[in-house]
Amino acid sequence: MKEKESSDLKEFMKKPKIIVSFVIVILILVIFFQNTQVVSFRIFFWKISMSQIILIPLTMIIGLVLGYVIGKLTGNRHKRGIVE
């Protein structure tokens, strides 16, 4: 049984993408769980209070979506040759 476990571990260690991805996920989780305090911020007339563990991923997702949409909107012009 130990021989099989050691061979599985050796196979796992041969895949650097999986190892790097695993380390990055662990680091992100550590950052999220260290930022559990409640923060307040104002958007125009609203005052919003929420935990940083929710705020950080929320802003990351909003940024990714906005970047994707803006990239699609401006990228289509360049593909069609309509550069201003």
Same domain, 51 and 79: yes
Question: How many structural domains are present in the chain?
Answer: 2
Q: What is the pLDDT of residues 16-52, one digit of tens each?
A: 788 888 899 999 888 878 888 888 888 888 898 888 8
Residue 21: domain span: 1-34
pTM: 0.53
Same domain, 46 and 78: yes
SS (H, E, C) the chain: CHHHHHHHHHHHHCCHHHHHHHHHHHHHHHHHHHCCCEEEEEECCEEEEEEHHHHHHHHHHHHHHHHHHHHHHHHHHHHHCCCC
Residue 66 is predicted with a pLDDT of 95
